[in-house]
Structures are given as structure tokens and as C-alpha cells.
Structure 1
Amino acid sequence: MVSATLATTAAATPAKASARPRLPAWLEIAKPRLIPLLLATTLGGMALAEGWPSNGLTITLTLVGGALASAAAGILNCLWEQDLDGRMQRTSSRALPSGRLAQNAAFAMAIALTLASVLVLCLGVNPLAAALSLLGLCSYVLLYTALLKPRTAQNIVIGGVAGAIPPLVGAAAVSGHLTAGAWWLFALVMVWTPAHFWALALLLRDDYRSVGIPMLPVVKGVAVTVRAIRTYAWLTVAVSLLGVVVLPSGGLLYGVLLIPFNVRLLQQCHALSRNPDAAAPARGV
């Protein structure tokens, strides 16, 4: 399970990053700031599934297993990208490129966390939840990080599936199968992720250019990227409104609750269109 917010922590400027208290190396590479976001969408998938509310043990074990998988994915991502991180000033002080943590130790941690996640979910929840969580981990590390990110500007459009899987894990944990509500939340995260990611990539385009990563702002320029962000923002609004029809019960309530979020998203896109280098709207998309 990995987040639809694949680049959130990367959006910190060097000044802000250095101002934060430094985490222990073993914790830093697990990307702990992303884990709560992933668990929130897992809970969303649970809440939209038949069988909710579930018993407290199932909920707890699902969240623990998801957190372990997310941490493992973060570590494997750091291992794969440590050479790139070492070449960028913004990331050169991270645990692996700076030498604060040995590569072998990080790899052992990732394997241990992966196995622990599979065991917790398979034995404590059900095999479907475990398989989906492992699929999310593999799609982030292998599909997005290793295959797509260095090769295509559309990397996040396809690779965003990794961050959209947690709602499916949540639904599987509660109901034992994949529900319409979980697929709706999956689709919502999928269409929001490119807008969110590309907005952050605008701020980091010089870094990406310096190491040859073909992010959309690097390959197509700022104007094309801003138009793409607007397109996916409107797609996000459209998919969110589909919940009124798709959700078996409470769809209208979800539609009403999402109105302020949709308004905020479109406001941030408008602000970004006027000033693509503004940090606040980029982080608000």
C-alpha cells in the first residue's frame, strides 16, 4: 500500500527540509509522513464496504499491516533512488546517500517489514487484503519507481495505481471482496494523483531536469503542465460527483461533503495557473 501522494514529502524546499528536526535514519527512509494519508484512504475503503463498522481487531490489524507495507515500499524506493538522491542538493542529505544508514541494513528492514505486513494481513485479516497490499507495494517500487518514472512523463498517470490501492485493501478487509464504493474511491485517488503530483513537480522541475527524470514540466514545459493539472482537477470533481450515483447508501451525503474540497481544489488550480511557481497553491492541489 502506497500513497496517492507520492511526492508530498519531496515538495519541501531545501530551507524547510533543513529546518525540520531530523528523524532517525531508519525511520526517515520509511517515509512516515505519508503513512497516515494512506491509512486514511484505507479507512475510507472500509467505511464504504458492506460489513462496516467492522470489529476493532480487524480494523487495527488492517492498519498495522498497511503501515508496515507502506514503510517497506518507502525504504525500497529510497534504495532504488539513492544514486539520484545523492546527485540532488535537496536530497543528498537523506539517510542512504549521506551514509547515515547502510544499504544492507535498509534492505533487510524492507524485507522484514514486507514479510511482517503479509503475515499480519494474511493471518489476521484475509488473503485478499494481503495480496492487494503486496500488489500496491510492488506497483510502487517496480512499476512506478523502477519502470515508469525514469522513462515517461506520464509515469504518475499509470503509476498512480499504487497510491489508489489502499481503499481496495480496506474494503477487502471488511467485506472479503471489492465493493463499488472502494472502486469509486480508487478511481477518485487515481484521477487526483496526477494533478497533485504535477503541481509539486512544477516546484522541483529544475531538480528533476538536473538528473534527467522526465517529469511533465521538464518534458512539456510549464504551460502544458498547468493545463494538464486543470484537466485532472476537473476529472477529480467529476469522479467525486459520481459517488452520488455509485455509492449504495449515503452517496448524496458524500457528494455534499466533497463540495468544499472540490471548490478548494479548483481555487488552488486557478491560483497555480496565474503563478506556476507559487508554492502554496502547488502544495494545495
Structure 2
Amino acid sequence: MSIELYSLIRRRSVGSPTKKSILLYMADAASDDGSGIWVSKGNMAADLEMKSKRTVQTHVSELVAAGIVFEVGQRKCRNGFTVEYRIDLGAVLSLPSTRAGNAPVPQHIAGAGNAPVQEMHPTGAGNAPLPVQEMHPNHPFNHYRTLCPADADHTQDLDFDFQEFISKFSSAYPRMGDAEKTEDELRTALGEGADPQEMLAGAKAYAVEQEGNKPRYILYSENWLKQKRWRQLVTKPKEPVDPKKILKARAKTILEGKTFICRHITAASAGECITAQLVTVEQCRTAGINL
């Protein structure tokens, strides 16, 4: 179970209660990076008290079509095989928050006689000073931008879309870790004046650099950001990447049949190798890639 992913999805609007419950169920079975989901749809329907397995299949298909969930392969089971899924962290982060605009509603009490209704605050009494600004961790107000003094130099465009930036970074980086820690590190870096385009370029360069490496050798996103590794990748000159070398490395991974790596290869990426005649459709399916 991924507590981080579960908490992230819980605070996002998916579009319907049924889809939300299915997505939370899948998160309960996922790793922190959203992978490793191969639950039985029949069991899911029973546990969620839904009418039928077909209901689950329909809503899962809609989540796949929306790009929130995608298929990464198949796993054998006693009834044949079950589809393995992965939740796209970038897509989840781009969903609207369930708490946006949920500002606290002032409490009122009825006045005596014709006296006007008085606003009542939980702190402060009479002519006491104004209450402390409500910044409690459980306060439903969400801060979407890095806070800074009014007279400070702004390093970001006022129209900068942070949620879109997170989505692009999540798609580019090869090993997403804790979603909330990653978001905090991104905000910190931007607040310190980092160029978002350089960070994205660094994430893409790191993905190319780590192509074919085992996941345990790749830094989690929050650690990569904390170490400011994008600076190393965008400041030193990089040799042009040869697309043929990337395809050959990917094809080699498919032919080796290491399912724990192949499950991260998308159907589109495998299709490029097939078009280049480096592998066959049957070899891709044997490696666990769903085409």
C-alpha cells in the first residue's frame, strides 16, 4: 500500500464517486511510484459493494482513456491472466483539488432584539487584537504559489502554471518518488530562482542518461531535486543523443525479457522498436508488454 499515493488521490477530484473509490482501491495496492497493481476486478467489485465486475471494468477503462491509469502488462493467475496497471502520478497531480476554494465560513450568532448579527471568531474577545492568521496544517485553504515578500524580486512569470509544470516534470523524470516531497522540492527550487525550463531539460537528460539502468540505481525525484542535479546536466555540454542507440538499448531490454523493467516500457515505445525491425510483436508480448 502507498500511503502517499492514497493521500494524494483522496484530495483530487476524479469526476465520479465510483471512479474515485476504484482509484483509491488501486492506490491501496500500488507502490509509491504508482506501479504494481494487479488486483482482481471481481474482488474489487465485491469489496467495493458494486453491482458487478462489469461496472469495475467499465470505469477502469474510462480511467485508462483519461490517462490517469495505464496498462503495463499481464500477470498469470489461476484463471489465465490479469492485467497489471500503473497510476500516472503526473496525471493525478494535474487533477483539480477537492479543497480548492474551500475557505472557512464565518460563524454567526443571532443578535438580541433589533441588534445586528455579530460575527463570532473562535479566538479573541471584545476589543482584543485581531486573531492570528489561520495557518493551521488542517486549515482547508491551499497555497498554490510560493509565498514571498511584496518587495522581493519575482523570479517566475505571474501566469506560471505550477500544476502544469508538475505534470510535465512527472512525465519527464524516470523515477518518481514521494509525490508531496517532490512537490515541496519543486516549490523550494523555484522559490530560490531555478529556471523551470532548465529543470525540465535536466529531468529529460537524466532519463536518457539512465536509459536501461535498473530502478534501484536511479534517484527518486525528491532526492534528485534536493541535490539540484539538473544543474550538472544542463551546464555541461551534452553530446547529441542518437535515437538509434536508444532504440537498440530498449530492444535489448525487451529481448532479455526482464519483466520488472519491461513493464515500464509503453506500447508506443515498443512500437518504435518494432517499426525499426529490432524486435517482433511476439517478443514484446513475451516480455509482458501489452500491445
Normalised to the residue count of structure 2, the TM-score between the two structures is 0.26
Larger RCO of the pair (alpha carbons < 8 Å, separation 6+): 1
Instruction: Select the structure that is richer in strand.
Output: 2
Instruction: Select the structure that is richer in helix.
Output: 1
Normalised to the residue count of structure 1, the TM-score between the two structures is 0.26
Name the larger-Rg structure: 2
